[in-house]
Amino acid sequence: MAGKLKLYYFDGRGKMESIRWLLAAAGVEFEEEFLETREQYEKLLQGGSLLFQQVPMVEIDGMKMVQTRAILSYIAAKYNLYGKDLKERALIDMYVGGTDDLMGFILMFPFLSSEDKEKQRAVIVQKATSRYFPAYEKVLKDHGQDFLVGNNFSWADVHLLEAILMVEEKKSDVLSGFPQLQAFKARISSIPTIKKFLEPGSQRKPVPDDKYVETVRRVLCMYYDIKAN
């Protein structure tokens, strides 16, 4: 019998956070091993666990999975969060892909200089309010259902809520012009598994701080400067 899921990453958000979100939404318990030293990372490399020499890595169903999108797709399919047919799966992939694009503007934010952070904050808000949020506002309005795809809770809903909350951390009233998304946020946040994940004491990670940034830089030997988009 397979043991409890185990995640290998840093004690922070990064690319693993969406995996935590999806597992939590599915009501699945998981353990975590946090990378804190270069030696831990090199041990995984030497043991052959990291196929492409990268984390996140997830132990699930006897596999050591890498590549974030593959991990998320597997979890979504395993726990019935990937639509009822091929058409719904395609829509979920499309919406998740769009949300990923928005998240991409946020992922490296903690590693920027103070000056570049202010520039990137403006970029994030501009992209969210002019490209991504209007698209989802229209989808929800035209669709007329509680969820993005069909009328069932899916990976697309989880991913969008995560992104909304991330952008709100950059500008708290960013949803002021999007009534459909305001209602969507309230609905999805009230789903029991999501509500539990949003409560203090869960495995959801806080906004990345300097300690997280330094740990990632040290473990991955990232000593170059990252520039804003």
Rg (CA), the chain: 18
pLDDT at 3: 67
Instruction: Give backbone dihedrals phi and psi of 12, rounded to 5 degrees, phi first.
Output: -175, 180
State how far the alpha carbon of 217 is from the alpha carbons of 36, 49, 52, 107, 211, in Å: 10, 21, 19, 14, 10
Locate the domains of the chain by residue range: 6-79+199-220, 86-190
Residues, the chain: 229
Alpha-carbon distance 27 to 1, whole Å? 19
Question: Which CATH number does the domain 86-190 belong to among 3.40.50.720, 1.10.760.10, 3.10.20.90, 1.20.1050.10?
Answer: 1.20.1050.10
Contacts of 62 (CB under 8 A, 6+ apart): 2
pLDDT at 227: 53
pLDDT at 110: 94
Alpha-carbon distance 25 to 158, whole Å? 7
pTM of the entire predicted model:
0.94
State how far the alpha carbon of 86 is from the alpha carbons of 14, 68, 77, in Å: 30, 21, 12
Please tell us whether the domain made up of 6-79+199-220 is placed in CATH 3.40.30.10: yes
Tens digit of pLDDT at every position of the chain (229 positions): 356 899 999 999 999 999 999 999 999 999 999 999 999 999 999 999 999 989 999 999 999 999 999 999 999 999 999 999 999 999 999 999 999 999 999 999 999 999 999 999 999 999 999 999 999 999 999 988 999 998 899 999 999 999 999 999 999 999 999 999 999 999 999 999 999 999 999 999 999 999 999 999 999 987 655 555 4
pLDDT at 225: 52
Q: What is the token pair recorded at 72?
A: 């998320």
Find the helix or strand (DSSP H, E) in which 6 lies: strand 5-9
